[in-house]
Amino acid sequence: MVQRVMKAAGRDVQEIRFCGFGGQGVILAGYITGKAAAIIEGRHATLTRSFGPESRGGACSAAVILADQRIAYPFLHKQDVLVAMSQAAYVEHIGQLVPGGILITEKDLVTVENPRQDIRSYAVPATRLAEELGRKLVLNIVMLGFFTCVSRVVDPESMRKAIQSSVPAGTEDLNLQAFNKGYAFGLEHGVNG
C-alpha cells in the first residue's frame, strides 16, 4: 500500500473536503473515497454532506473523515485536503485548510488569487482531461485520480474497486479511465508539486 502522507506526518486522521456545485458529482467523489477507506481498506470513514435546495447548480460539499480509530464527531474540525471544483466553493473553504494542507482546484473553474504559501497547491485541467475521454461529466473522477495520487490517503487500487462498485452499470470502464487519467496527471505534474 502506498505510504500515507498524513500518517507519515504522525497523524492517523485525515479530513477531506470535496466541494463544487450540484451536478458535478461532488458527493459521489466523497462517497467513493470513504468507501475505499472504510469498506475496501477496513479503516473508519464518515461522509457528511451539505447542499442547497437546488438539484443543480447550488453549493455542494462532501466532507470525509478517514481514521484508524472509531470516529466520534462526524463533521470536519479542519481540512487536510480541499478539492474545489467551483470558485464559490474555493472561496468559502480555503480559509479552513490547515498549513501544510493540500489544495486541488479545477484549473478552468477556479482562479486562485493571492495563493497561500503555507500549503501545497495544484490546479488540474480535469474538465479538459474528461473531454478527451468524450465525457465532460467524469471530471469528478479525474479529480479523484489526481487527489489519490498526490494525497496518498487511500490506496489507488482501493479507489478503483470503490469506483467500480459505485458508478452506474455500464460506465465502469469510462470511470476507471478517468481515474487513471487523473492519477497519471498527478504522477506527471503533481507528486513533487
Partner 1 sequence: MVSAGWVERIKESSSEAKVLPGILRPGAYFFNGDEAAAEGAIAANGRFFAAYPITPATEIAERCAARFPECGGMFIQMEDELAAMNCILGAAWAGAKALTSTSGPGFSLMMENLGLGIMLETPVVLANVQRAGPSTGLPTSVGQQDMMQARWGSHGDYEIIALCPDSPQECFDLMIRAFNLSEQFRTPVLLMSDETIGHMTEKVIIPPAEEIELVPRRYTRAAPGDYWPYVPDEDLVPPMARAGTGYRYHVTGLTHDHRGYPDLDAEGQHQLLWRLKNKILQNQKKILSFEMARMDDAEVCLLAYGCSSRVARSVMELARERGIRAGLLRLITVWPFPDDLVRDVAGRVKAIIVPEINLGQIVREVERAARGRTKVVSVPHAGGGLHTEPAVLQVIEEALR
Partner 2 sequence: MNPETPKKGTDGGDELPGSDGHPMDRILRMDRMPHIWCPGCGLGTTVSCFALAVNECGIDYDKLCVVSGIGCTGRAAGYLRLDGYHTTHGRAIPFATGLHLANPDLKVVVISGDGDLSAIGGNHLIHAARRNLNLVVICVNNFIYGMTGGQVAPTTPEGMKATTSPFGCLEHPFNLPYLASSSGATLVARWTTLDVRQMVNTFKKAFMKKGFSFIEVISPCPELYMRRNKLGDGLAMMKRFQSDRLVKHGADPKEADLGATGKILVGEFVNLDRSTYADAYFRMVSQLAEAKSVRKEEAKPGGKSPAQAGAKAPEAVGEPKAKPRPAEGDREGRGPEKKAAGTPAVATSPP
Q: Binding residues for partner 1, per CB under 8 A?
A: 31, 34-35, 38-39, 42, 44-49, 53, 71-75
DSSP β-bridge partners for residue 49? 62
How near is the Cβ of 61 to partner 2 at its closest, in Å? 13
How near is the Cβ of 177 to partner 1 at its closest, in Å? 23
180 binding partner 2? (CB under 8 A): no
Cα–Cα dist 65/119, whole Å? 19
- Closest to partner 2 by CB, 97 vs 130, is 130
Integer Rg of the chain from CA: 15
174 binding partner 2? (CB under 8 A): yes
161 binding partner 2? (CB under 8 A): yes
- Closest to partner 1 by CB, 60 vs 103, is 60
Cα–Cα dist 187/171, whole Å? 24
Q: How many residues bind partner 2 (CB under 8 A)?
A: 31
Query: Which residue in 79, 64, 146 sits closest to 107, CA to CA?
Result: 146
Query: Which residue in 99, 190, 98 sits closest to 151, CA to CA?
Result: 190
**Stretch touching partner 2 by CB under 8 A, among 69-77, 98-106, 109-117, 157-165:** 157-165
Would you say how long the chain is, in residues? 193
Q: Which of partner 2, partner 1, none does 141 bind, CB closer than 5 to 8 A by kind?
A: partner 2
Q: Which of partner 1, partner 2, none does 86 bind, CB closer than 5 to 8 A by kind?
A: none
Q: Which of partner 1, partner 2, none does 24 bind, CB closer than 5 to 8 A by kind?
A: partner 2
106 binding partner 2? (CB under 8 A): no
Q: Residue 48 in contact with residue 23, Cβ under 8 Å?
A: no
From the list 52, 57, 111, 165, which residue makes contact with partner 2 (rule: CB under 8 A)? 165
Grid-cell match 482546484, residue found: 105
DSSP β-bridge partners for residue 122? 104
Q: Residue 69 in contact with residue 12, Cβ under 8 Å?
A: yes
